[in-house]
Amino acid sequence: MTKKTYILLHILLFSFSCQNTLTNKDYDKKVTKEFIKQLIESEKKSYQEKSFLSSNCILEQPSWNSFDNKLKLKIEKELGIKDKAFLVFQIDLFQNFLIEKEMIPDINIIKNEEYTEFKQSFNNNEFAYLNKLDRLKCKYGFSSISKPLFNENYDLAIIRFEKICGPLCGGGLISVYEIKKGKWKQKKILDSWIY
């Protein structure tokens, strides 16, 4: 093989791998949006006011956006991820995830700056957060939803969501979901907590 042929072959391989990554990101974004829409609809129907997602407000950037190696191994095991590169791809998307209005058209999105102010308000005065919630029009506090971490087949996902209604008010859970007949259903709860 000539040097020119060798270089051309590498350029083509690189080009196709880049296109594949872009397609995966687009596909992942599409599945993520559908997952979150289904999750919110399902939670509202099933649990109404008792749902972790019953608030009319949600954080733009999820409160959970990093994790340690122990949790990475748990995610890999629960989702049956075989390809380490795919796990890295999912973590990268996860850490850069922001909620978009088209995912949740009827819910107010709390920007990062507003959330920082909110946290500072209850550090300064334990009841000042009530004024912040009122100003943000978040009657029942607010929710936080992570980006779902998918397996390679996009038929299993792990997601964390929580409700925050004040310094000692709220709770959340981390769950595994499975898609069956086009609908995401909770398969297993990995962790839950109450503040």
What confidence tens digit (pLDDT) does each residue in 17-52 have?
Answer: 444 444 589 999 999 999 998 988 887 776 555 566
Contact criterion met (CB below 8 Å) for 170 and 195: yes
Residue bearing the bigger pLDDT, 40 or 8: 40
What pLDDT score was predicted for residue 121?
Answer: 73
Query: Which residues have CB under 8 Å from 190's CB, separation 6+?
Result: 74, 78, 158, 173, 174, 175, 176
Give 157's strand partners.
Answer: 150, 177
Query: Rounded to whole angstroms, how far apart are CA atoms 190 and 78?
Result: 9
Extract the tokens encoding 90.
């999912």
- pLDDT tens digits along 160-190: 988 888 767 888 899 999 999 999 999 999 9
Contact criterion met (CB below 8 Å) for 161 and 145: yes
User: In which residue are the tokens 């992570």 written?
Assistant: 146
What pLDDT score was predicted for residue 115?
Answer: 84
Mean pLDDT on 130-146 = 84
